Amino acid sequence: MNTEESSPLIGAEELQAQLGAPDLLVVDCRFDLGDASAGRRAYDASHIPGAIFASMDGDLASARHPGSGRHPLPSPQAFAASLSRWGFTPRSHVVVYDQGNGAFAARLWWLLRARGHTRVQLLDGGFAAWMAESRATDTAVPQPHATPVEPRGFDGVVSSADVAAGLAARNITLVDARAADRFAGRNETIDPVAGHVPGALNMPFTGNLDARQRFLDAATLRQRWMPVLQHAQQTPVVAMCGSGITACHNLLALAIAGHGNTRLYAGSFSEWITDPARPVVAEEGA
């Protein structure tokens, strides 16, 4: 698999200059948690020229099953099939984007990195940034030739049992990307149980962004994450959220900041609460 390192981010101007390059693979990851078909409709209406569409539920996650979270990881075989359908090769320069802040596109960024492909970047500011600069769009749906893609497992994934053991041994630092009110258990509208995993720290993914919904620069991200990294010392930072999607945004932010000792708790809070024996903390009165 490709081992060429690249910056985690790319700007609209740089992407525009590379459109049409033979190894470029642009992937539209727009998604709406409350409307599963919204991303595809948005793509069909207008997308970056040459981009293919990735379904969060169909390509970037697998079907929920008993004991899983809301967005389990795709199997290595299913993800390889998606990559094959997109025309992916080990040489591909993959650029991922969503509607704006990277909350959903970061999932594909992480999936590719976790299977060993490092030549992947996220369009900073997403489709909103592309449109703000009045760049060309298209409605044509590319029909790439299928390519042979070997199924590969995902590195850096931890299970609910791993999290429980790591917290008990104090050899992980668990970080939850959900908003502060959901973390506290004050405003849970998605999952049937409110609160957070005992011992988790709250680092809402939105704090990685500036007012334009673009990532903070590396130095500012290092400053934001310094308390977490000081707490972690040499232990892995394990990212979680509600279902393992926006957790990847925190992992991308840490990559920008230059920190690589990270893991993903893919099942996240929605999986943690499937076992009533696992403890949950919520603010009193929440």
Catalytic residues: 241
Q: Taking phi first (over 0 means left), then psi (-120 to 50 degrees means alpha), and beta for anything else, what does residue 240 get?
A: beta
Please give the angle made by the CA atoms of 35, 108 and 72, to the nearest 5 degrees.
65
3-state secondary structure of 122: strand
Cα-flanking dihedrals φ and ψ of residue 209, to 5°? Answer: -115, 155
Cβ–Cβ < 8 Å for 177, 246? yes
Cβ–Cβ < 8 Å for 90, 117? yes
Which tokens is 14 given? Answer: 């740089």
- Whole-number CA gyration radius for the chain: 18
The amino acid at 152:
R
